[in-house]
Amino acid sequence: MRVFVTGGSGFVGGHVIEKLVAAGHEVGAMARSEGSAEIVRGFGAEPVPCSLGEVGSDALSTFEAVVHCAAYVEEWGTRAQFWDANVLGTSQLLEVAQAAGVRRFIFIGTEAAVFDGHNLIAIDETAPYPERQRFLYSETKAEAERRVLAANDENFTTISLRPRLVWGPRDQSILPAILRMVDAGNWSWLDRGEARTSTTHVYNLVHAVELALHQGRGGEAYFIADDGETDFRTFLTALTATVGVVLPERSMPSWLARTAAAAVETVWRVCRIRRTPPLTRFATAMMSSSVTVRTEKAQRELGYGPVISVDEALASSK
């Protein structure tokens, strides 16, 4: 199958390219610059010059499927930055894909689409979108997912995969962010790291992507996760140990962190400071809320099951 991948120079997208190429698919990848073209070429994809929101009508004419990994995945930014990339960029890609005769569209969504800062315990795909979204990332990924699933028809199968806390080789967000905080002396657990969480190793996510190219019901979302669940303290302690880092014991109450984050964000907005604040409402909510997901639907309809366990992945990272 000829598959077009967006976000191929990033963490998840790069692994998607490698997985699909290894499985015998022909892969083309969005390349916004010569630098990104060189990266996706290194993963085994054919660079396709275009950028999110500006995909030409002929760019997808030879592809049978699209895997949309690109997104604005940041703790901080303007509404326009989140909306333009996550919503308008997705909508434009959907329109071009349909017009080009693409048959299957796989969207890399997120459990954050249904997250509003409160605990979500053992949720499945019947969990509704929040009536009021509190975070720009959650709001825009939810709206993008709505549009993806609504575009499904008999000639255009659309599926959203919702991983929770993606980790693994070449991670560009979770582990690097923690290490930066430790180096700066800013690391602190929230509520002693007791919040529960599901996790998704990137190898398990890209396995689900490959399955979704052939299996699954159109117009549906699927949670994807590793087997079992853990708590932040156990998981992050083990994760940072793979690079020889011991996390400090310091902890603060989540209510205090959330209050401080709201105050910091207010100062940043009033002063129009461009750089990311040292503390954000989204990050503190994510790190202090229990969020665990069920994957029975993916097991039944995609044939999904983890290809690597958390223990195996941690051991191989040392």
Contact 48, 59 (CB under 8 A): yes
Q: Residues with Cβ < 8 Å from 167, sequence gap 6 or more?
A: 174, 175, 199, 200, 201, 202, 239, 313
| End-to-end CA separation in angstroms for the chain | 35
Buried b (16+ CB within 10 A) or exposed e, 165-183: bbbbeebeebbeebeeeee
Q: Assess whether 203 carries a catalytic annotation.
A: no
Choosing from 72, 137, 203, 304, the catalytic residue is 137
Q: Residues with Cβ < 8 Å from 151, sequence gap 6 or more?
A: 94, 98, 105, 158
> How do 26-31 and 46-49 pair as beta strands?
parallel
| Helix residue ranges per DSSP H, 79-219 | 79-82, 89-100, 136-150, 174-184, 202-212
Closest to 219 (Cα-Cα) out of 133, 60, 94, 86: 94
CA atoms within 13 A on the CB side of 220: 16
Q: Which residues are catalytic?
A: 137
